[in-house]
Amino acid sequence: MTAETRQRIDKWLFYARVVKSRSLAAKLVQAGRLRVNREKIQQPSYHVKAGDTLTITLDRRVLVYRILNPGTRRGPAEEARQLYEDFTPSASAEKEPPSALPPIREQGAGRPTKKERRAIDRWRGEG
């Protein structure tokens, strides 16, 4: 393999717009949140090539990418999407966010709201 077909993993993550900076990419790798071909790596200097499969753990989601090309720069998002093929499992229907209805409580149950406190203050003559 020539040097042009391999690239440091921290550079590739930066060019593919997985993280915002190379230093964050290095921290991600050192924290053990990245696997290359099912092997956990901990060195940001690890070299990847086209065909490698990455499993990346970010916050509450897991990304699965297959590298198609090494990057040459951090370009626009469309250019970054050409560096990988996304195999990330879709979010299941069971994990839908709850509806946007506000919580309902019985009148007089729990602590009073700000509006209710102001009404109480006016009734007492304090406000």
Residue 4: is its pLDDT beyond 70?
no
pLDDT value of position 101: 67
Report pLDDT digits (tens) over 60-97. 889 999 999 999 999 999 999 999 999 998 865 445 56
3-state secondary structure 10-72: HHHHHHCCCCCCHHHHHHHHHCCCEEECCEECCCCCCEEECCCEEEEEECCEEEEEEECCCCC
- To 10 degrees, the CA torsion angle through 17, 18, 20, 22? -100
Q: Please state the pTM of the whole predicted model.
A: 0.69
Residue 55 counted as domain residue: yes
Tally the domains of the chain: 1
Residue 75 counted as domain residue: yes
Report pLDDT digits (tens) over 31-69. 999 999 999 999 999 999 999 999 999 888 899 999 999
Could you tell me how many helices (H) and strands (E) the chain has, helices first? 4, 7
Band (pLDDT 50/70/90 cuts) for residue 5 is confident
For residues 100 and 81, is the Cβ–Cβ distance under 8 A? no
95 vs 88: CA distance, rounded Å: 16
Q: 73: domain range? A: 6-90
Residue 81 counted as domain residue: yes
